[in-house]
Structure 1
Amino acid sequence: MNISLTGRHVELTDAIKAHMNASIQTLSKYNLDIISVNVIASTQTKKGKDHSVVEFVINLAHKNSIVIEQNDQDLYAAIDLATTRAQKAMRRIHDRDSGHHKDGINEAKIQANTTINLNEASEAMEDEIVPVELALYKPREVEDVLNDIKENKKLFEIFIDNDGKTRVLYKRNDGKFGLY
C-alpha cells in the first residue's frame, strides 16, 4: 500500500503524520486490496474563520476509488471524521463482496439439491395436510350463524343461505357484524 501525505498551506508535523498513518492503518482490517491512499490536508478561510479540510483518496484493486472530503475547525477532528467515513465505505464494499450474492444461481441449485431430498420433502408435506370436511352443504339461517359466532367467539363463519348463495358473516372492528 502506497501512502502519500500532502499538506497545502499546512505544515504537517510529525504528530499529524503519525495520526494520519495510524488512521490509514485502520483501513487494512477490511481485507480489501488497497493500492494507494492519498491524504491531502489544507486550510480554507470561510466567513473569516479558518477551517481544516482533509481529503482521502483510496484506490482499491478492481473497484472504484473512494474519495472523501471532510471539513472541520480542528485538523485532528477532520482526520478522525474522514477516517470514520472511509471505514464505513470500505465496510459496505467488504460486506457486498463477502455476502451471499457472490454465488451464482447454478451453485445455489446444486447446493439445494444436495441438501434437500425432494421426495422426502413431498412425503413430509403430505403428512402435514389434514383434510377437513366443511358443513357448507346444509343451508342455514343468518340468525343461527350469528348465534354460533357469538357463542364460539369466532371472527367469521362461511355458510350457505336458504337461497343457495355462499355467504360470510364476520365480526367488524367496531363490534358489529357484517354479511358478505
Structure 2
Amino acid sequence: MQIAVTFRHMETSDAVRNYLEEKLSRVKKYIDEPIDAQAVLSVAKKIRHSAEVTLVAKGITIKGSEHTNDMYAAIDGTVDKIERQLKRYKEKLKEHKPASGRERRVAKTVYAAESIDEGLGQPSIIRSNSFSVKPMAVEEAVMQMDLLHKEFLVFTDSTTEEISVVYRRSDGNYGLIVPEAQ
C-alpha cells in the first residue's frame, strides 16, 4: 500500500504518520489489489483537527473525512468510515443474485499472428478456452469486471438476453458493446 501523507498547518509528526499507516493497514483485508492512499491531516484554529483520506484501488475510489478536537480520533473516525464503505461494497457484490435465465457457453480462441500475416490459409491455433456467460445487469457486469481485474467482460444482458461486452476505456470510463437488432 502506497500512502502519501500531507500535513497542513501543523508540524510533521512521525508518530501520527505511523498511527495512520497502522490504521489504514486494516483495509487491506477488503481489497487485495495495490492501493494508493492520499491522506491530508490539518489543524484549523488550533482546535479543529481534520483527517481526509482518499483510497484508490483498481476501479474503486473511496473518500472519508472526520473533524474532531483530537488528531488520533479524527484518523480513527476516517478509517472507520472507509472501512464501512468497503464492507458495504463487498456485501453488495456477495448478496447480488444473478438473474435467472439461460447460461451460455462461449469459446475463446487465440491464433498465432504469423500464421495470419503470411496468408498460409488456415491460421494456427495457440490456445482455445470455453467459459460460461452469466445473465446479469450492466452494472453488475462492471462490478464483476472490476473485482476480477479484467479489461473486458462478456456477459448475457438480463433484460435483452443478448450477449454483450463491457470494457474499460483508456480514459478510465467504461464502454458497452451490444449486438444490433436486425
- CA offsets per residue over residues 158-179 of structure 1, 9 Å max, x none? xxxxxxxxxxxxxxxxxxxxxx
- CA offsets per residue over residues 121-159 of structure 1, 9 Å max, x none? xxxxxxxxxxxxxxxxxxxxxxxxxxxxxxxxxxxxxxx
Q: Which has a greater percent of helix?
A: 1
Quote the offset at 1:32 in angstroms.
5.0
SS of equivalent to 1:55:
strand
Contact 1:34 1:58 in 2 (8 A): no
Is structure 2 residue 2 aligned with structure 1 residue 2?
Answer: yes
| Pairs within 5 Å for 1:76-115 | 76-101=72-97, 103-106=98-101
Counterpart residue number, 2:47: 50
RMSD: 2.2
In structure 1, runs of 5+ residues without a counterpart are 109-180
Quick one: which amino acid aligns to residue 8 of structure 1?
A: R
TM-score, normalised by the number of residues in structure 1:
0.52
- In the alignment, the residues of structure 1 paired with residue 35 and residue 100 of structure 2 have an alpha-carbon distance, to the nearest angstrom, of 32
Quote the offset at 1:4 in angstroms.
0.7
Quick one: which amino acid aligns to residue 106 of structure 1?
A: G
TM-score, normalised by the number of residues in structure 2:
0.52
Is structure 2 residue 62 aligned with structure 1 residue 66?
Answer: yes
In structure 2, runs of 5+ residues without a counterpart are 104-182
Counterpart residue number, 1:124: none
SS of equivalent to 1:76:
helix
Moved over 4 A (4+): none
Quick one: which amino acid aligns to residue 82 of structure 1?
A: T
SS of equivalent to 1:42:
strand
Counterpart residue number, 2:127: none
Seen in structure 2, the aligned counterparts of structure 1 residues 44 and 107 have a Cα distance that, compared at 3 Å, is farther
| Number of residue-to-residue matches in the alignment | 104
